[in-house]
Amino acid sequence: MASSYTHVGRQIHRATKLVRRDVKDALQRRYFGLGSATFQQPAATVSGSAEEIVIPRKKTWNKEAVLQALASTVNRDPTASHYVFQDDSYLTPRTSAEFKLYSLAQESGRTAAKYFINTYPKYFQKDFANPHIPCLMPETLELQVNEVSEAALIERIQLRKVKAAVDMYDQLLQAGTPVSLDLTNDLLDLISLYGDCDPARGDAPEQRTEEMGEEQEDVKRRKGMPQKASDFLRLVWRENNNAERIFNMMPERNRRSYGALIRGMVKHGAYSKAFNTYTDLLNNRLTGDVHIFNALISAAPEVREKYVEKWDLIVDLLKQMAEQKVKPTLLTFNAVLKALRRCGSLGRTQAFPVINEMKALGIAPSLATYDHVLGIFYKAATSAQGHTEILQDVLSEISGKSFTAQDPDDVEFFKDAMRICLATKDIEQAYRVHSLLGVGENWKLLGDSYYQSIYYGRFFNLLCMMEHIDVVLKWYKELIPSLYYPNSQGMRDLLQALDTDNRLDLIPQIWKDIKRMGHDNKTELVEEMLSLMARENQIPEVQQSFADCALDVKALYTQTDRRVPLSWSAGSLSSITSILLAAERTQQAWEMLKLFKLANRVPSESLMNQFLESVKASNNAQQAVELVQISASFCLSITPNLMERVQQEFDLTEEQRNTLSDLESSTAMSD
């Protein structure tokens, strides 16, 4: 009896393990019990026999069960700022500029500390951590070995000091000591990787040497784009630089040496040279390895013009790879697909055979593969052309899967997928892409804060366009500002969405958010908001809140304390005035009229009519006369009309009648 129970129990155990592995990633948060406990219960517990008491096997929990249970109760807190910041309202960033400033400030504090730790290591040597924590010990970044020897060369290579390593190599050769092939290959790898230039050290102050200046002259600087520092300097493979010189001096070269040179050339833009070096390699009766072929495939589109020629070159390279018995890897196929992106229509026909080949070889695609496929089928120019359902197919294939970073282009997938959803206005697919982010480790492949802002910006744009305002507001609370600081275009999209669904009463709240995010100096945004508020009359409470909001905006135009105030335009003045009038704040509306003169702007005729209506409601004849005077001072064409109406509808005193008739004659004369 017992043996059959254990046998069944083992079957169940195996089955639950299989089930567990599949659902673990998706359901880990909620059903922690499945993941962390192993049920060793036999299947047939309570089948019929009530007399038999079946004692269930003891449940064993794994070590993190309690933590997983607690974690499942905590979802992302949309009201909290990013985890690197302190949880205090003074220290929470409110705009994207502050976000960057504070995180960079913290990082620079850390590098300052690292500088002190590495410069005075003797205070940090006492090691009482058990077990030893190597990352908390000071690093030796200065050169220790100074005599001319192979050990010194090894040290310089490890510390990534390119120029010092090259000098040491030259000294070794001059001294006559032979340097081993492996070490020379290491040196070539170092030079090719860094393009014969020392990599910038994080904590050392910037040293502007003359060589750096030369290279930066002919490199286009991309200002305003928060890219990584390495993108600013595109190094060019100079003629006869140290790598080539050392390579030519080597008595014997092997595949690794050629590989270092070829990969360096491809990385730094000397594509045809790379192919020439490859021909040299073949002439010396050596075979290439997978890294060489990957580099050459990614360089192939640069050395040929026509699509067909490019593809033929790639096929040729792949055939040679097969002849030389080099096994392709994921990076090979990704390089092929990336090259196919530049092959136009040929790419579309060849993409799927490549993927089938990949699957036949048993290589699992990474997100970069799918990114290149999407790039091949959805070109930027053709937005709605071609009824491709590729995006749906791709998303169906990868839904529920967790990917790891295997290719540097993996991070492009999410923002490109969202770009395609935005271009095709497909909200369903956008939701699927967003849910893919929640699977397993995929959140790590969203990229740095710049890529994240692009992704969320496109997502929010699509939501504002396609969804009902309640859904939009739900996502607004969820995403902003914890994940994404919208720019002024994003806020305008939100205002458009409010307008479409007739929820203009929410504008004062959105105005508070706009101020907090620092977009209150963007004139188009403010004016659009004002015109939306001024367009129609609302119910009284809403109108009062609009009036308060309008006064707040007015303060922005007139304050001079800290920053440049906005400049008045006719539209903004009219909008604020009509909002104030509609809310029956006549005193403040009259003050606005005076501002027109100061700002040299002309009020519109509808505004004058609106004023007349409100004056009639309060039945103030003096104000009516003043209104006509103001209208005349602006030489509005509506002035005679106004005058007539005032004379007819108001009881005017003698004085007022005289003033009016004077005005009438003066305007008649000026006509």
Partner 1 sequence: LIFVSFQTVCRQLNSTLWLNVGGRSIHSSAVCCKNRAARIRVGKGDRPVTYEQALHPHQIAHRKGWLSQHTSNLQGEDGAADRTVEDLFIRRLIYGTFHGCLADELVIKRRGNLLVICALMLQKLPPHKYYFLVGYTEELLSHFYKCPVKMEIQMLEEKSVYKYL
Does the protein bind partner 1 through residue 127 (CB under 8 A)? Answer: yes
* SS3 label, residue 61: strand
Report the nearest approach of partner 1 to the CB of residue 116 (Å).
7
Among 128, 221, 325, 648, binds partner 1 (CB under 8 A): 128
Cα torsion for 21, 25, 31, 32, to the nearest 10°? 80
Which of the ranges 108-116, 294-302, 472-480, 562-570 carries the binding residues for partner 1, by CB under 8 A?
A: 108-116
Contact region with partner 1 (CB under 8 A), list: 134-142, 214-222, 471-479, 540-548: 134-142
Which of 286, 350, 271, 342 is CA-nearest to residue 310?
A: 342
List the one residue from 9, 138, 269, 565 that touches partner 1 (CB under 8 A). 138
Q: Does 141 bind partner 1 (CB under 8 A)?
A: no
Binds partner 1 (CB under 8 A): choice among 25, 98, 499, 548: 98
Instruction: List, as one string, the DSSP characters of 557-571.
Output: HH--SSSPPPPP-HH
Which of residues 44 and 105 has its CB atom nearest to partner 1 in the complex?
Answer: 105
In single-letter form, the type of residue at position 121 comes to P
**Contact call for residue 555 and partner 1 (CB under 8 A):** no
- Asked if 586 and 614 touch (Cβ cutoff 8 Å), the reply is yes
In the set 86, 119, 558, 618, which binds partner 1 (CB under 8 A)?
86
Tell me the torsion sign for CA atoms 619, 625, 628, 633. Answer: negative
Instruction: Match 């190094």 to its residue by tokens.
Output: 235
Tokens linked to 24: 């673990």
Give the Cα separation of 129 and 140 in Å (integer). Answer: 19
Q: From residue 474, how far is each of 72, 293, 471, 478 by CA, in Å?
A: 22, 50, 5, 6
Using the minimum distance from each CB to partner 1, give the nearer residue, 108 or 382. Answer: 108
Q: Does 352 bind partner 1 (CB under 8 A)?
A: no
Contacts of 142 (CB under 8 A, 6+ apart): none
Residue 87 near partner 1 by CB under 8 A = yes
From candidates 11, 45, 108, 500, binder to partner 1 by CB under 8 A: 108
Q: Which two tokens stand for residue 395?
A: 């998303």
In the three-class reduction of DSSP (H, G, I as helix; E, B as strand; rest coil), residue 28 is classed as: coil
The reply to whether 201 sits near partner 1 by the rule CB under 8 A is no
Q: Between 140 and 661, name the residue whose CB sits nearer to partner 1.
A: 140
Task: Tell the smallest beta-carbon distance from residue 104 to partner 1 (Å).
Answer: 8
**Contact with partner 1 (CB under 8 A) among 15, 67, 70, 101:** 101
Beta carbons of 458 and 483 less than 8 angstroms apart: no
Q: How far is the CB of 95 from partner 1 (least distance, A)?
A: 12
Q: Judged by CB under 8 A, which of 13, 29, 114, 234 binds partner 1?
A: 114
From the list 91-99, 158-166, 260-268, 640-648, the region that binds partner 1 by CB under 8 A is 91-99
Q: Which of 70, 113, 249, 364 binds partner 1 (CB under 8 A)?
A: 113
Helix (DSSP H) and strand (DSSP E) numbers for the chain: 32, 2
Nearer to partner 1 (CB atom), residue 70 or residue 219:
70
- Binding segment for partner 1 (CB under 8 A), chosen from 130-138, 258-266, 463-471, 627-635, is 130-138
Residue with tokens 């050395």: 303
Contact track, partner 1, 44-83, x by CB under 8 A: ----------------------------------------
Site for partner 1 (CB under 8 A): which residue of 35, 81, 96, 102? 102
Helices 570-582 + 586-599 axis angle, to 10: 170
Residue 137 or 236 with smaller CB distance to partner 1: 137
Integer CA distances (angstroms), 433 to 22, 453, 455, 470, 474, in order: 20, 16, 11, 21, 18
* CB 151 within 8 Å of CB 145: yes
**Between 99 and 456, CB nearer to partner 1:** 99
Asked if 105 touches partner 1 (CB under 8 A), the answer is yes
The dihedral sign for the CA sequence 221, 224, 225, 229:
positive
Amino acid in the structure at residue 150: E
276-281, long-range: CB < 8 A, 24+ apart:
281/255
Is 226 a binder of partner 1 (CB under 8 A)? no
Tell me which stretch binds partner 1 (CB under 8 A): 62-70, 116-124, 405-413, 610-618: 116-124
Which CB sits closer to partner 1, 20 or 114?
Answer: 114
Alpha-carbon torsion angle 536, 537, 542, 545, nearest 10: 80
- Does position 137 interact with partner 1 (CB under 8 A)? The reply is yes
Q: Which 8-state DSSP code applies to residue 252?
A: S
How far apart, in Å, do the first and last CA atoms of the chain sit?
A: 115
> What residues make contact with partner 1 under the rule CB under 8 A?
85-91, 93, 98, 101-103, 105-110, 112-114, 116-117, 123-124, 127-129, 133, 136-138
